Amino acid sequence: MYIIHIKLDSKTHKSGFVTIIGKPNAGKSTLMNALVGEKLSIVTPKAQTTRHRIFGILNADDFQIVFSDTPGIITPHYEMQKSMMKFVSYSLEDADAIICLTDPMDEKIEPEMVERIKKSRIPVVFVTNKIDEATSAQLEAIRQWYATFDFPYHTIEISALKSKNTIELLGMILQFMPIHPPYYDKEDLTDRPERFFASEIIREKILLNYRQEIPYSCEVIISGFKDKPEMNVVMAEIIVERDSQKGIIIGPKGAMLKKVGTEARIAMEEFFGKKVFLETHVRVIKDWRSNINQLKKFGYEN
Ligand SMILES: Nc1nc2c(ncn2[C@@H]2O[C@H](COP(=O)(O)OP(=O)(O)OP(=O)(O)O)[C@@H](O)[C@H]2O)c(=O)[nH]1
Ligand SMILES: [Mg+2]
């Protein structure tokens, strides 16, 4: 469990929404997991791992912060990516504070996004991540970039992976939280049901086991989820866009699908804290990523 050492001056309860935005792979999901103290969002070395807005709720006696993990900011090329970017936009509309995360070894957000943050007038912390790996020259280049901004902002340099300076970041964020009763039950960790995490865990294993376009062509649908006292029984469908992709997912004599299934089951058992029976099938839905009706069914349209 996470131990919070920050004490608020007043006894009054604070609560607010904090969106975490940035380019793909900046470490947004790693940071949200570190702040909340649970592995809610899946993390992989591949860009565009996160496809949805996912709430991670940090509860303490006198505050509740609702973090939004969001998809990395990209120029969308197909309907699914357009939906992903809408999730980023919505998260900015209701935020009490913004964390804009940058990997100093990778791309910066576009000037239009900086302008959008400026115009929003929402308190913003520009966070430089991965200080455990970045060189001092790379860190300095990011500092100089921040120095060009002509609006009020805060900055901090952290390592989300090593939890370095994350408590300090939390302290900064707390200053911006309005006095407000909690939005969610104090026991809640997220807004998402268990089956969402089951599908995300399978997607994480797909991202880690297949190359190139394959993981991006997959969606995971949980067609059955039974929470029994002794185990969770999970039925999952892996949706691909083409027959050839179905063959790749299954692999020779079903070996690849078996490997993904086993890895996902073990991760689910850890997440749910009980035994899991997992059954997976692969189904083709032609070009689902470009089909708005299909995307709605998969939860990509609000
Ligand atoms: N060295 C180092 N690696 C990190 C740090 N934070 C995250 N990473 C790594 O960066 C990669 C991407 O992390 P994610 O948390 O998935 O990044 P993201 O911004 O959520 O990526 P998308 O969901 O694709 O937009 C993973 O391999 C992480 O382990 C850090 O502080 N230091
Ligand atoms: Mg992510």
Q: Reduced to 3 states, what is the DSSP secondary structure of residue 155?
A: strand
pLDDT of residue 8: 52
pTM: 0.95
Distances in Å between the Cα of 217 and the Cα atoms of 79, 82, 243 are 12, 15, 12
Q: Which helix (H) or strand (E) holds 111?
A: helix 111-120
Q: What is the mean pLDDT of residues 260-283?
A: 98
Percent residues over pLDDT 70 in the chain: 96
117: alpha, beta or left? (left if phi > 0; alpha if psi -120 to 50): alpha
Domains of the chain, earliest start first: 14-175 (3.40.50.300), 194-297 (3.30.300.20)
Report how far ligand 1's centroid is from the alpha carbon of 21 (Å): 13
Q: Rounded CA gap, 111 and 54, in Å? A: 25
Q: Which amino acid is at 281?
A: H
Strand pairing class (231-240; 275-284) = parallel
pLDDT of 11 reads: 67
Q: Which numbered ligand comes closest to the C-alpha of 207?
A: 1
Q: What is the pLDDT of residues 199-215, one digit of tens each?
A: 999 999 999 999 999 99
**First CA to last CA across the chain, in angstroms?**
33
Ligand 1 pocket by Cβ (under 6 Å): 22, 24-30, 43-45, 47-50, 71-72, 129-130, 132-133, 159-161
- R_g over Cα of the chain: 20
Longest dimension (CA), the chain: 63
* Average pLDDT in the chain: 95
Instruction: Locate the ligand 1 atom nearest the alpha carbon of residue 162 and give its number.
Output: 31
CA 147 to chain centre: 28
Res 3: pLDDT = 52
Ligand 1 atom nearest residue 72's Cα: 25
Q: CA-to-CA distance for 167 and 240, rounded, in angstroms?
A: 41
Ligand 2 centroid, distance to 210 Cα (angstroms): 18
37-90: per-residue pLDDT in tens? 999 999 999 999 999 999 999 999 999 999 999 999 999 999 999 999 999 999
**Sole residue written with tokens 């899946």:** 42
Candidates 25, 32, 156: which one to mutate for ligand 1, based on the most atoms within 8 Å of Cβ? Answer: 25
Neighbours of 134 (CB within 10 A): 19
Q: How far is the CA of 31 from the centre of ligand 1 (A)?
A: 8
Q: How far apart are CA 57 and CA 191, in angstroms?
A: 8
- Atom 30 of ligand 1, nearest CA residue: 130
CB atoms within 10 A of CB 285: 17
CA of 201 to the centre of ligand 2 (A): 13
pLDDT digits (tens, 9 = 90+) for 152-196: 999 999 999 999 999 999 999 999 999 999 999 999 999 999 999
Backbone angles phi, psi at 290, to 5 degrees: -110, 5
| Per-residue model confidence (pLDDT) at position 5 | 53
249 C-alpha to ligand 1 centroid (Å): 25
Phi and psi (nearest 5°) for 230? -90, -20
